[in-house]
Amino acid sequence: MSGLVPPVRSHRRRLPAGRIPRAAGDPHRSRPILGANAAVELGDEIQQPRRNIPLSFIISIPIVVAIYVAIGVVTAGIAPWSGGRALSLAEMSDSFMARIPFLFFLLGGGFLAVVTTLNATCLWGT
């Protein structure tokens, strides 16, 4: 009878750092699909969802990737050499932007992040 039940293996083999670091990383692995999940949940309200939902992914994902790559290229191009010290995007932009555009960039970016998060939360929750 004991040969039918497999022995319990330690989680240390699969999770060398333990369960806490894996649990801490779970939100970072699930967050990227929340937007896709919201789009799929809106399927009842979209005209021709079988065609338009996949089409929205096919069109939007390459556009977003191109924008992120462009931001990375521009950021790497304007970043001053700091001798190994990593600078934040705000520190880099402060080095070349005038005061008013810099404050707009800094405050507007934070405001836009909060507004889009609230919009996604309300969209997902309803």
The pLDDT tens digits of the residues spanning 2-24 come to 556 555 555 455 656 666 676 77
Q: Are 77 and 87 in contact (CB under 8 A)?
A: no
Q: Is residue 105 part of a domain?
A: yes
Q: Is 26 helix (H, G, I), strand (E, B) or coil?
A: helix
pTM summary value: 0.52
Q: Is residue 21 part of a domain?
A: no
Q: Is residue 24 part of a domain?
A: no
Distance in angstroms (rounded) separating the CA atoms of residues 10 and 35: 35
The reply to whether 42 and 61 lie within a common domain is yes
The reply to whether 73 and 89 lie within a common domain is no
When pLDDT is cut at 50, 70 and 90, the band that residue 39 belongs to is: confident
The reply to whether 58 and 95 lie within a common domain is no
The reply to whether 72 and 96 lie within a common domain is no
Distance in angstroms (rounded) separating the CA atoms of residues 116 and 113: 5
Give yes or no for residue 58 having a pLDDT over 90.
yes
The reply to whether 112 and 88 lie within a common domain is yes
Q: Other CB atoms closer than 10 Å to residue 57's CB: what's the count?
A: 14
Q: Is 6 helix (H, G, I), strand (E, B) or coil?
A: coil
Q: Is residue 65 part of a domain?
A: yes
Distance in angstroms (rounded) separating the CA atoms of residues 56 and 39: 9
User: What range defines the domain where residue 50 resides?
Assistant: 34-78
Q: Is residue 5 part of a domain?
A: no
Q: Is residue 117 part of a domain?
A: yes
Ranking 18-22, 39-43, 51-55, 70-74 by mean pLDDT, the lowest is 18-22
The reply to whether 58 and 93 lie within a common domain is no
Q: Is residue 10 part of a domain?
A: no
Residue with the two structure tokens 């990383």:
25
